[in-house]
Structure 1
Amino acid sequence: MMNVKKQGLSLAFVLAFLAGCSSTDTTEDTDGMDGADAQTDSGVTTGAAGREGVTSSGADGEDGMEELDTIVYFDFDQATLKPDARALLLAHAERLKENPTDVRLEGHADERGSREYNMALGERRANAVRDFLVLQGVRRSDLEVVSYGEERPLAMGSGESAWSKNRRVEIVY
């Protein structure tokens, strides 16, 4: 009973936090590589279908649990978790602590920068997600880090709208 209350409180906190995180992207892209020292966006993390934060459809999954977004987005040339990404990862951490399972964290980068730089950046991003989950009590041995760099883009194109979708870590259960 206490665990159910704790889970309900955690979910309520995450949802309340996400409701207050709404903003719009008003910055413009600058030319350069993903390895340059510039930030081009600070928008809200959204899933592939443009949804925010924790739920991907509002429906329960096959296991009766609420579905969670499985993509964490990053700012240009960054491997730092945004506040809304942290909220999403808190929900994943709770799920993984209750139902331990192997998870692959796939790091990605946009096409700017060298192939080697983007592989390293994808790895840093995946490691940031892994480290956050471990700090929340998820077993490190359940988490595998893989970097694909720029090799598996989610969106094709050479503009900020495509690049912002490619700067990500995918959580694969």
Structure 2
Amino acid sequence: MKLRLAPLALAAGAALVTSACAKKQPAQLPPAPVGSDGATAVGDDFGSAGQVSELEGLRRDMVSQAGADTVLFVTDSHILDDQARAILEGQARWLLAHPSVRITIEGHCDERGTREYNLALGERRANAAKNFLSARGVAASRMNVVSWGKERPAALGSDVASLAQNRRAVTVLVSSS
């Protein structure tokens, strides 16, 4: 009799251990990452609510004058095309007119490729935008770069349009004195 109960007890114990180790959904999900759509965007973890509101107004002004806060890239490239250069020209003019504004340029990639490859490519994309702005007179000391690789997609999906939206560099305003 004891021999027949042993497999049953083992199975019950394994089921109990497995269910105890199962991952549970968090009670509350963290906020969405900062995006270029401006919904919650600027100053994530920077300054007070008043400063965030001020930065959002400045971001909207920059986008209206420069045309966008985001430049796109082709697959596996960090080369700025004509459209990207035109947007960055507008950003440079705006930044020169607002010398107290500091920015972070975020480099992003689509979902293809390894994490390491995409982090390196995202950094090259952010640095391409930074170097362009610097060549137009924006002080390098006002700019930081960060690469998110494929970790913060702008568009979900594996279709051509979604992949294209994720290959980008985004200029994010982080402070204004």
Compute the TM-score of the two structures, normalised by the length of structure 2. 0.61
Give the structure with the higher percent helix.
Answer: 2
Q: Count how many residue pairs are aligned between Structure 1 and Structure 2.
A: 115
Give 1:138 shift: 0.2
Instruction: Output the aligned Cα RMSD.
Output: 1.9
Give 1:164 shift: 0.3
Q: Render the CA deviation track for 1:102-142: whole Å, top value 9, x for unaligned.
A: 00100000010000000000000000000000000000000
**What pairs with 1:97-136 in structure 2 (closer than 5 Å)?**
97-100=96-99, 101-136=101-136
1:79 corresponds to: 78
1:94 corresponds to: 93
User: Which whole-Å CA distance do the structure 2 matches of 1:132 and 1:118 have between them?
Assistant: 21
Closer/same/farther in 2, CA of residues 121 and 62 from structure 1, 3 Å limit: closer
**Larger deviation, residues 143-152 vs 92-101:** 92-101
Partner SS state of residue 111, structure 2: coil
Identity rate of aligned residues, in percent?
A: 43
User: Which whole-Å CA distance do the structure 1 matches of 2:168 and 2:90 have between them?
Assistant: 18
User: Which whole-Å CA distance do the structure 2 matches of 1:92 and 1:153 have between them?
Assistant: 22
Partner SS state of residue 141, structure 1: helix
Give 1:65 shift: 4.6
Runs of 5+ consecutive residues of structure 2 not aligned to the other structure = 1-35, 38-55
Closer/same/farther in 2, CA of residues 152 and 65 from structure 1, 3 Å limit: closer
> Which amino acid in 2 is paired with 1:159?
D
Compute the TM-score of the two structures, normalised by the length of structure 1. 0.62
Partner SS state of residue 170, structure 2: strand
User: Which whole-Å CA distance do the structure 2 matches of 1:95 and 1:153 have between them?
Assistant: 26
Large movers: runs of 4+ above 2 Å: 61-66
2:148 corresponds to: 148
